[in-house]
Amino acid sequence: MNPSEILTKTENYVRQKLEGEGTGHDWWHIHRVRNMALKIGKEENADLFVVELAALLHDIADHKFHDGDEDIGPATARNWLENLNVDEKAINHVTHIIRDASFKGAEVDTPMKTIEGKVVQDADRLDALGAIGIARAFAYGGHKGRELHNPDIPPKKHDSFDQYKKSTGPTLNHFYEKLFLLKDRMNTDYGLKLAEERHQFMEEFVNRFLLEWDGKE
């Protein structure tokens, strides 16, 4: 099978699997991440076949929806790519990107080994920021039955992936526990530039949220 057939089949597979998903990990998240990853990947002269495959498959089976199982995403992607007879080197690269790219806690480093991984991680992170990032955070929080905000529950800096996965705090805490930290963890120049703009918008949002919370104008 040629690369373009592999990509089309993979897009169709992911689309039918994630279409209509309601927590911000739906097909349109994948679509945005894929487009952003290709844009950054071109700037960085990355292998765009690996970038596109990894972006398409990065949330195919997320630990957040499988009792914290970190192996299910890479395993599902491997299974799919083996069925398409993708070469082992590319499968290995894609599955490593899927495993490494996720945020794992404020105090947990998540270095990416290759430029393709850096590109996909930046694209995924950008979709957690800005207006869409805010919408996704509250969609996810609602799905998990979390409060919007609770001033009695302070944010936590998680120092292990396990702790981070178990956290059940209100959604506003997620801004301090993850979203505001992403800007300083961007890998590429283009990713950083966009992250800075989106970060600033989220800060304005949270400032206003807290003013309104206190009944101020």
Instruction: Give me the residues that bind Ni ion (CB under 5 A), please.
Output: 59, 124
Instruction: Decide whether 49 or 140 has the Cβ nearer to ligand ADP.
Output: 140
Q: Nearest approach, Cβ of 128 to ligand ADP (angstroms)? A: 3
What type of residue sits at position 127? D
Contacts for 67 with CB less than 8 Å, ≥ 6 apart: none
Euclidean distance between CA atoms 170 and 167, whole angstroms: 9
Instruction: Decide whether 84 or 161 has the Cβ nearer to ligand ADP.
Output: 161
Euclidean distance between CA atoms 129 and 179, whole angstroms: 7
Residue with the CB atom nearest ligand ADP in the bound state:
128
93 touches ligand ADP (CB under 6 A): no
Q: Nearest approach, Cβ of 54 to ligand ADP (angstroms)? A: 12
Give me the helix-helix angle, 115-126 and 189-213, nearest 10°.
20
Q: Nearest approach, Cβ of 212 to Ni ion (angstroms)? A: 29
Number of residues that bind ligand ADP (CB under 6 A): 15
- Single out the residue of 10, 76, 95, 171 in contact with ligand ADP (rule: CB under 6 A): 171
199 touches ligand ADP (CB under 6 A): no
Contacts for 178 with CB less than 8 Å, ≥ 6 apart: 103, 106, 128
- SS3 string of 43-78? HCCCCHHHHHHHHHHCCCCCHHHCCCCCCHHHHHHH
Interacting span for ligand ADP (CB under 6 A) from 10-18, 37-45, 134-142, 200-208:
134-142
172 touches 151 (CB < 8 A): no
**Chain residues that interact with ligand ADP, rule: CB under 6 A:** 24-25, 59, 62, 102-103, 124, 128, 133, 136-137, 140-141, 171, 174
